[in-house]
């Protein structure tokens, strides 16, 4: 009968629901704006006569694909991103940190939601001296055996434990969003680095083509110098220009090599071990339709905003913990056991002992209690302000990228036109130089213009790709549309 009483007490305490003091957290409302810029663009300019020069259309409300990097239609890029996501040690560290937070939550949930039940079994030998207390019989040695079950529980009448568990859940959610942010950042870094490699490759090829053309002109200048058609000063000036152009190559080759070492690091290998593809601008296609998440949904799409909200939630719960510390704490305990002088009699009917106890603790004076509550309130206010800062920065990020994409399209259009004109002018001047109708200064000027416009064109093409990738990242990377990704849900319990 008493055993059933103790079992019922255990079950009842585990189901006890208590109201929690402090603020109940609600997700902040999304900003009430319909666009990111005052004058939103729906379509970018186009440069149809050059690679990567097509117009891009912004599609409001379109979902961001979870594997957004596939929009560039590069098999080499897709393979590299998948390698990074599966082998990056930075992601492994983020995943381990998440598991730690989840297990910490589970540990706290087990110790606060349910009573603590412990069992004990013991035996002891004692010696008494009856003559010392005026009794006959002299010394006596006997053995005492005991066994029992003890149950303790904090009633959590004002929800301090509940708020504490809520804070642990929010911290676990924060680590989940941090993991998603790390995945997004890693994928974006791989994509941008690959595109930068293509940019440097194009710049190197353009520079080498200019050097080859300049060397041909230098050979002609040598012949003309030997014939007395130009002065030594003219020849030396042309040699200087060729040398100056060659001097730009080492820096470009260094930057190209650095992209390879960075890619190796991003996929979790050393530069010596990495088997990396070589990217060119021809490896990428420019997405013609770009998803633009509406502002009210962006706060649910970006991992950094969701992580900031989780910290805000944790601060709210900790504020509730601080408030609950000023209220009474009720601790309950119960025990059921058996004591006997012989092991064979330990579980007999006459050996049963039991007890019930309760304890009420009410803070009467604690000089730091009020200050602690105010400190938690200030932390709550700071978390709310930090959340607003994160949202504002995210909206600024999106607005800037949208503006950059329009600017990139216009820049590429202008660079394509300039390159066409410069190449046409160079061909004309080269023909005239061979015939001796223009000076070497005119040739050098045409060559420099052609070199600059070719390199600028390659830069504009690569920058358009890079800023397109930045838009996918600014939109949150579509991680919520990935059904294979575990979604945070602890704080919803």
Tokens of 417: 């036109």
Domain borders along the chain are: 20-114+159-326+370-492
How confident is the model over 424-476, as pLDDT tens digits? 998 999 899 888 888 777 887 888 788 889 899 999 999 999 999 999 999 99
Write out pLDDT tens, residues 332-346.
777 766 665 555 556
What's residue 340's pLDDT?
58
Kindly report the number of other CB atoms within 10 A of residue 94's CB atom.
Answer: 20
Residue 230: its pLDDT value, please? 81
Query: Which residue matches tokens 């595109």?
Result: 195
**Residue 27 phi, psi dihedral angles, 5° rounding:** -60, 135
Of residues 365 and 106, more confidently modeled: 106
What is the model's pLDDT at position 304? Answer: 96
Q: Which parts of 288-379 are beta strand (E)?
A: 289-292, 329-340, 352-361
Residue 365 confidence (pLDDT): 56
Confidence check: pLDDT of 259 > 70 = yes
Residue in 113, 173, 101, 167 with CA at minimum distance from that of residue 322: 167
- Element counts in the chain: helices (H) and strands (E): 10, 6
**DSSP string computed for 233-270:** HHHHHHHHHHHHHHHTHHHHHHHHHHHHHHHHHHTTS-
pLDDT in tens, 313-323: 999 999 998 88
Predicted pLDDT of residue 15: 43
Checking phi first, is residue 268 left (phi over 0); if not, alpha (psi -120 to 50) or beta?
left
Answer yes or no: are the C-beta atoms of 172 and 101 closer than 8 Å.
yes
Instruction: Reply yes or no on whether the pLDDT at 23 is more than 70.
Output: yes
Q: 10 Å Cβ neighbour count for 289?
A: 10
Question: How much is the average pLDDT of 219-238?
Answer: 85
How does 458-470 read in b/e, with b if 16+ C-beta sit within 10 Å?
Answer: bbbbbbbbbbbbb
Domain 20-114+159-326+370-492 is in which class?
A: mainly alpha
């Amino acid at each position: 009968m008493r055993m059933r009483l103790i079992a019922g007490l255990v079950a009842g305490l585990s189901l006890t629901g208590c109201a929690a003091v402090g603020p109940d957290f609600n997700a902040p409302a999304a900003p009430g704006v319909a666009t990111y810029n005052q004058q939103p663009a729906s379509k970018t300019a186009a440069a149809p006569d050059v690679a990567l020069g097509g117009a891009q259309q912004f599609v409001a409300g379109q979902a961001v694909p979870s594997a957004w990097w596939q929009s560039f239609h590069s098999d080499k890029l897709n393979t590299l991103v998948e390698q990074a996501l599966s082998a990056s040690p930075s992601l492994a560290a983020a995943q381990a940190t998440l598991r730690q937070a989840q297990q910490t939550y589970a540990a706290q949930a087990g110790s606060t939601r349910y009573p603590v039940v412990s069992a004990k079994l013991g035996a002891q030998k004692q010696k008494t001296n009856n003559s010392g207390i005026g009794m006959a019989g002299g010394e006596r040695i006997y053995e005492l055996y005991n066994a029992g079950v003890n149950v303790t529980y904090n009633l959590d009448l004002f929800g301090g434990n509940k708020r504490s568990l809520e804070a642990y859940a929010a911290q676990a959610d924060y680590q989940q969003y941090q993991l998603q942010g790390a995945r997004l950042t890693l994928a974006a870094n791989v994509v941008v680095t690959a595109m930068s490699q293509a940019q440097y490759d194009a710049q190197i090829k353009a520079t080498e083509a200019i050097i080859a053309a300049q060397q041909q002109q230098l050979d002609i200048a040598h012949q003309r110098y030997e014939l007395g058609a130009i002065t030594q000063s003219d020849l030396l000036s042309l040699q200087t220009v060729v040398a100056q152009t060659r001097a730009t190559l080492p820096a470009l080759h260094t930057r190209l090599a650095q992209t390879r070492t960075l890619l190796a690091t991003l996929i979790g290998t050393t530069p010596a071990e990495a088997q990396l593809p070589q990217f060119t601008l021809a490896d990428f296609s420019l997405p013609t339709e770009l998803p633009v998440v509406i502002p009210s949904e962006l706060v649910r799409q970006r991992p950094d905003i969701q992580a900031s909200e989780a910290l805000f939630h944790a601060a709210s719960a900790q504020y509730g913990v601080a408030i609950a510390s000023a209220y009474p704490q009720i601790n309950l305990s119960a025990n059921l056991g058996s004591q006997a002088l012989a092991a064979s009699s330990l579980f007999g009917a006459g050996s049963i002992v039991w007890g019930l106890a309760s304890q009420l603790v009410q803070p009467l004076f604690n000089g730091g209690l009020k200050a602690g509550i105010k400190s938690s309130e200030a932390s709550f206010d700071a978390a709310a302000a930090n959340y607003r800062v994160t949202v504002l920065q995210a909206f600024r990020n999106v607005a800037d990228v949208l503006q950059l994409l329009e600017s990139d399209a216009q820049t590429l259009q202008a660079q394509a036109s300039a390159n066409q004109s410069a190449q046409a002018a160079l061909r004309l001047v080269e023909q005239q130089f061979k015939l001796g109708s223009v000076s070497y200064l005119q040739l050098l000027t045409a060559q420099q213009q052609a070199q600059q416009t070719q390199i600028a064109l390659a830069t504009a093409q690569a920058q358009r790709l890079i800023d397109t990738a930045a838009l996918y990242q600014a939109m949150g990377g579509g991680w919520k549309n990935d059904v294979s990704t575990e979604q945070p849900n602890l704080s919803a319990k």
